[in-house]
Chain A
Amino acid sequence: MYLENTPMYDRFSMSRLVGLVLIILPLILFGGQLQADEHADHSGAASTGDSHQETVEAEHGTDAETHGEAASAEAGGHGEHGEEDTGVLGLLTHHLMDSNHYEFFGMDFHLPVLSIGGYHLPITKHTIMLITAAILLIVLVFPRRKVGSGVPHGWSNFIEVLIVFIRDEVVYPNLGSKYGRKYLSFFLTAFFFVLFSNLLGMIPYGSSSTGNIAVTGALASVSLIVMVGSGMIIHGPLKYMGSFIPHGIPAFVIPILFPIEIAGILVKHFALCIRLFANMLAGHAVITVFLGLISSYFIAPVAIVGAVAISLLELFVAFLQAYIFTMLSSLFIGAAVSGEH
């Protein structure tokens, strides 16, 4: 199974790299902006607001003393500092959550916060992983040979199998060969980007940035924009909006049905976002909990075997979720492009 006499792989080259960067750049900025808002929320909660101040004081003060009921409930809600140093939960938050520290071979880097035009864009652990995934995408998926120059070897063989799979099993059945050719670069970019982001969580000192809801939200938003945008460009805005209304229904149902159809599209992409996020987060949470079970030499072998088994499952899930993300977004975009509902 290799590519022959198709201009497709040729096109997935230098001219398309520009488009690729244009897709990924807003994604990183969008993700960073959402994280910036979260950071602002946390710092605001810690510094301003009297009730929060009280909570923080109560938390850092005498833990042995009996708090009021409300105070302890509040501490549970806002206690970011309290969770840091409590056994497995601390390990979980350290492993899974985004932070502005990045550990690399024992070195602890404090990452800077960029300020561009009044917006704070903190460089975080997941931002580093996003950029790494983008660089890997450019370096590893770059064409190594001319199309039609015989049988591929080595790495390009592996990549071409994946590309042909996405083309023939995912994109063309959903979009047809006419539009499928046009949209192929987008889906290949989405597939490999999600795949590399997922797999980066499986290597030491890596972290899966798709386990961050800001990143998956940005990916799903890109899919939503491509879907609505291509529907409006191909069919015209009015006709595209008209395709939300099924044929042959009484007129008084339209005001009820139209918002439901719009909400349906939003919910589809919200589910796209949540699915990827929860899958990656849940897998890594299970691995961390298995390793967190280690308390003595007798339990350690069992926990390590369990963690290895779940890690192997995670490798499969990384490929499966990248496939499902590409599959579902091509399904949605294909429905918008073909225009029938």
Chain B
Amino acid sequence: MENLAFGFMGAGLGAGIVTLGAGLGIGRIAGQAMDGIARQPEAAGKIQTAMLISAALIEGVAFFNAVICMLIALK
């Protein structure tokens, strides 16, 4: 029974750590994009597109790991 509890705890901790990593990564991308747009407002469209793509790629990894955590938690 103890092992099962540890498993659930691991899934919860894993979800939290995934959020931490994804938040850091996407926050960094968004911050740099804001800097870029502030310096060059006329390039806002291109910067936004590139920002969304890279944020989506990071988010994909984060969701992949979140799904793994969910699968562990629902077992």
Interface residues in chain A, defined as those with a beta carbon under 8 Å from any beta carbon in chain B:
69, 72-73, 76-77, 169, 271-272, 274-275, 277-279, 282, 323-324, 327-328, 331
Contacts and interface: CB of A to CB of B under 8 A. Distances in A.
A331 B1 CA distance: 48
A328 B64 CA distance: 17
Contacts of B57: 271
B49 A278 contact: no
Interface string B21-59: 000000000000000000000000100010011001101
B10 interface: no
B64 A274 contact: yes
B52 A327 contact: yes
Nearest to B4: A73
B1 A275 contact: no
Interface of B is mostly: helix
A76 B75 contact: yes
Given A69-B1, A76-B75, A282-B66, A275 B53 contact: no
A229 B45 CA distance: 31
Given A76-B75, A324-B56, A278 B61 contact: no
B16 interface: no
B75 A77 contact: yes
B17 interface: no
A308 to B, nearest CB: 23
Given A73-B4, A77-B75, A327 B60 contact: no
Contacts of A274: 60, 63-64, 67
Given A77-B75, A271-B61, A274-B64, A331 B56 contact: no
Identify the interface centre among B4, B45, B56, B67: most chain A CB within 10 Å of its CB: B56
Given A278-B67, A282-B66, A327-B53, A271 B60 contact: yes
Contacts of A328: 53, 56
A227 to B, nearest CB: 17
A70 B4 CA distance: 10
A238 B54 CA distance: 31
A274 B57 CA distance: 11
A253 B57 CA distance: 27
A271 B52 CA distance: 15
A328 B7 CA distance: 35
B63 A279 contact: yes
Contact of A275 (B49, B52, B56, B75): B56
A279 B4 CA distance: 28
19 contacts: A76-B4, A169-B45, A169-B49, A271-B64, A272-B60, A275-B60, A277-B67, A278-B67, A279-B59, A279-B63, A282-B63, A323-B52, A324-B52, A324-B53, A327-B49, A327-B53, A328-B53, A328-B56, A331-B53
Contacts of B61: 271
A328 B58 CA distance: 13
Given A271-B60, A331-B53, 6 more contacts: A274-B60, A277-B67, A279-B59, A279-B63, A327-B53, A327-B56
Contact of B59 (A77, A169, A275, A331): A275
Nearest to A320: B52
